[in-house]
Amino acid sequence: MSQVEAAGTASKLAAVVPMKPLHESKSRLSDELSEPERAALSLNLFRIVLAAATASKLGRVIVLGGDNDVRLLAEGFGAEWTADVNRGLNAELGVAFDELSTTGWASMYLPGDLPLITATDIDAAIDASRNGTLLAMCPATRDGGTNGLIVPSRSPFRPELGEDSFARHKKAALSAGLPFATCDALGFSLDLDTIDDLLACERIEPGFRMRILTPGGDATP
């Protein structure tokens, strides 16, 4: 990974945004949306996340995996892109966090499908982590997941994402005697995986569904 900085201010904290190839994305919506719609959805959500991340206090934004469309969009925002080797989400993040830690960078897991995320939300998580020096967790409101995680450099803590991961992360931190903070910023509360999530976004922002499913669009009115 190069040390190209994102467009935000330069803290020594790097976000890692894992992505799938667009044709593999959002399979849980396959009964509701066509493959082109799912691809548009994923890329537009990714655009929202990139815009927020590169405008935040993050020092670097690293996109992990995906396809050429993902790479081109990432680079268009000034983010770094690196391929994954299909080790699975937690293993890929663990390797990325290890590499960042050895060079003195704190790491942030940032999902690529947060429809409400803003730079202010990301900065709130950074502030909760004391600029990357304290473990910080951002809970999801659905499924008990974790929609953001900041791990200080040299910390042994690593992501174990999945259903109920927020409780597991808290338990692991307590068991290891690691102090941590929680950030409940709105933008981390919802990741878009199901039709109910899509409908929730439509209720929050009328017209969201049409915009987010349009190739080259986003959720901005």
Which residue is it, tokens 């900041």? 150
Task: Read off the pLDDT of each residue in 190-214 and give the average, rounded to a whole number.
Answer: 94
What CATH class is the domain 13-212? alpha beta
Closest of 21, 9, 169 to residue 81, by C-alpha: 21
pLDDT at 6: 37
Taking a C-beta distance cutoff of 8 angstroms, is the pair 145, 163 a contact? yes
Closest of 80, 140, 141, 153 to residue 111, by C-alpha: 140
Model pLDDT for residues 171-186, shown as the tens digit of each residue: 999 999 999 999 999 9
What does pTM read for this prediction?
0.92
**Across all residues in the chain, what is the average pLDDT?**
92
Model pLDDT for residues 46-96, shown as the tens digit of each residue: 999 999 999 999 999 999 999 999 999 999 999 999 999 989 999 999 999
Handedness of CA 80, 81, 87, 90 (dihedral sign): positive
Model pLDDT for residues 6-20, shown as the tens digit of each residue: 333 447 999 999 999
Domain locations in the chain? 13-212
Ramachandran class of 26: left when φ > 0, alpha when ψ lies in -120 to 50, beta otherwise:
left
